[in-house]
Amino acid sequence: MVVLYFRRKIPTFWSVFVIAIRRRVGYTVYAVGKELKQMMRYQVRMFTEGRKKYFYITDHETLDLVPLPSKYLKFKAESGRSPSTVQHAAFAICYYLNYLLEKGLELGQVPELPFEEQNLHFVQFLYWTKEGHHRTAKRKEITGNGTCNAYLKDVFRFFLYLADGGYAPPLRVLSYNQITVANAPGVKRTLRSKSFKGYMKAKERDVRAAEEVEIAEILSACTNTRDQLLLILLGETGFRIGELLGVDYTRDIDYNSHTIQVYFRDDNENEARAKNAEYRRSKISEDAFAFLLHYLAEYRKLLQHQTYLFINISGETAGKPLKVESVYDMLKRMEDKTGIKLTPHMLRRYFAICRWNAGWPLELLSQALGHKHLDTTVRYLGILDDRLMKASEEFYAKHSKSYGIEKFL
């Protein structure tokens, strides 16, 4: 049996974290909702070094750092993963460590479990999170299937890291080996396990596209030019909100061709990031470009001290880069004011549906949206089934007699 001890000698590069923990300074203890997870033994903490955020896990009882999960999280942070991605992984692994504690298992025992026991172990983890046992007693609530699956996928990535680093054997439920098992009557059967098959059935993400009349009403309700420009560009570029907030008006806008470019940067002050670390650009309309110039002129005194296109325009943070949270706060105020719910993703879908209805080829639209795979765009549009049905009707209207089926009726 391989035993992965949690509290072994901590590597040198973690010493600064341990000092911070013991002195109780320089770190953040993360909460779920508005409550600290004081009832759970393992907790997620954050350490900031310049603009870089590092997440790690500690033992609440001993204040010791948990080495291997924390080393993995450091690896993810330094591999260019977004802070939100690393944070999500940190919580998922933290929940799993608490689950192991409840089950009386060590991390190193899990890869040694027989296939069926290992499979059951992870299925039970899904239901453990589903029932809210990863939360404090006061906040237990049903967790969505998709969220539970995401937690487990992060746990599996951690185990793959352990296997690749030689810390533990590969998980049997993720192997390619053929496994022979017997049921209660003793009937043997062979299973070929390529990936975990026990995920919960998750609901399809159902985000509708914004409608033009809704966008127009929200634009009229906006109280400043910045918010109006933000919504206009989301609808005209199809960029993700993180991509648009990362735009540098001195480098990423071509003022001759009226195009805006997206570059991957992992050091943006507002933590805005391009999702797939790729470059692409989008052309905006003449009216949108004229409005962009109007915005730059109106806020030139604030904009001249930095290079982000979208900034805070009032208060103590005036002139600082606008953050994603502030955009959602603004949209919530607009919803309270107009009764219309609008999100950046709804505007992105509006962009996609409008271009698709205008006859853009699927490949071009996929590139514009920054999708890595064409099937992602197919699912994203959500209207392809209607076109397939219509195309099928037109085909059968022309070719239904090709097989001579009527002779058999």
pLDDT at position 270 is 45
Within a domain: 204? no
Q: Which of 123, 157, 192 marks a domain boundary?
A: 192
Least confidently predicted of 11-20, 87-96, 100-109, 389-398: 11-20
Shared domain for 86 and 219, answered yes or no, is no
pLDDT at 310 over 90: yes
pLDDT at position 264 is 65
B/e letters for 50-63, b = 16+ CB within 10 Å, e = fewer, are: eeebbbbbbbbeee
pLDDT at position 268 is 52
CB of 321 closer than 8 Å to CB of 299: no
Strand spans (E) along 255-321: 259-262, 280-283
pLDDT at position 143 is 84
Within a domain: 138? yes
Shared domain for 331 and 257, answered yes or no, is yes
% of the chain at pLDDT higher than 90 = 53
User: Within its chain, how far is the Cα of 113 from the centroid?
Assistant: 31
Shared domain for 77 and 48, answered yes or no, is yes
Within a domain: 404? no
Shared domain for 170 and 218, answered yes or no, is no
pLDDT at position 6 is 40
pLDDT at position 186 is 55
Within a domain: 393? no
- Contacts of 320 by beta carbon, 8 Å cutoff, 6+ apart: 269, 270, 306, 311, 312
pLDDT at position 269 is 52
Of 164, 147, 21, the C-alpha closest to 91 is: 147
CB of 263 closer than 8 Å to CB of 281: no
Q: Where are the alpha helices (DSSP H) in 104-223?
A: 115-130, 145-164, 212-221
pLDDT category of residue 406 using cuts at 50, 70 and 90: low
> What integer is the mean pLDDT of 397-406?
62
**Tally of domains within the chain:** 2
Least confidently predicted of 19-33, 60-74, 218-232, 381-395: 19-33
Least confidently predicted of 60-69, 155-164, 264-273: 264-273
**From CA 20, how far away is CA 304, in angstroms rounded?**
37
Within a domain: 374? no
Within a domain: 395? no
pLDDT category of residue 392 using cuts at 50, 70 and 90: low
pLDDT at 267 over 70: no
pLDDT category of residue 383 using cuts at 50, 70 and 90: low
pLDDT category of residue 112 using cuts at 50, 70 and 90: very high
Mean pLDDT of the chain: 80
pLDDT category of residue 386 using cuts at 50, 70 and 90: low
Of 100, 106, 131, 124, the C-alpha closest to 173 is: 124
Phi, psi (degrees; rounded to nearest 5) at 241: -60, -40
- Contacts of 139 by beta carbon, 8 Å cutoff, 6+ apart: 32, 33, 35, 132
Comparing 188 with 393, the larger pLDDT belongs to 393
> What integer is the mean pLDDT of 172-189?
58
> What integer is the mean pLDDT of 16-21?
40
pLDDT at position 388 is 56
pLDDT at position 19 is 38
Shared domain for 310 and 246, answered yes or no, is yes
pLDDT tens for each residue of 21-52: 343 334 444 443 334 344 589 999 998 887 78
pLDDT tens for each residue of 314-344: 999 999 999 999 999 999 999 999 999 999 9
Shared domain for 181 and 219, answered yes or no, is no
CB of 52 closer than 8 Å to CB of 79: no
Shared domain for 150 and 222, answered yes or no, is no
B/e letters for 204-241, b = 16+ CB within 10 Å, e = fewer, are: eeeeebbeeebbebbeeebeebbbbbbbbbbbbbbbbb
pLDDT at 299 over 90: yes
Shared domain for 134 and 232, answered yes or no, is no
Shared domain for 172 and 233, answered yes or no, is no
pLDDT at position 34 is 35
pLDDT at 3 over 80: no
Within a domain: 43? yes
**Domain span at residue 326?**
212-369
Q: Which of 144, 159, 192 marks a domain boundary?
A: 192
Within a domain: 207? no
pLDDT at position 194 is 47
% of the chain at pLDDT higher than 70 = 72
Residue 325 belongs to domain with CATH number? 1.10.443.10
Comparing 270 with 151, the larger pLDDT belongs to 151
Shared domain for 111 and 235, answered yes or no, is no
Shared domain for 169 and 233, answered yes or no, is no
> How many helices (H) and strands (E) in the chain?
15, 10
Shared domain for 34 and 179, answered yes or no, is yes
Residue carrying the six token digits 């508005």? 34
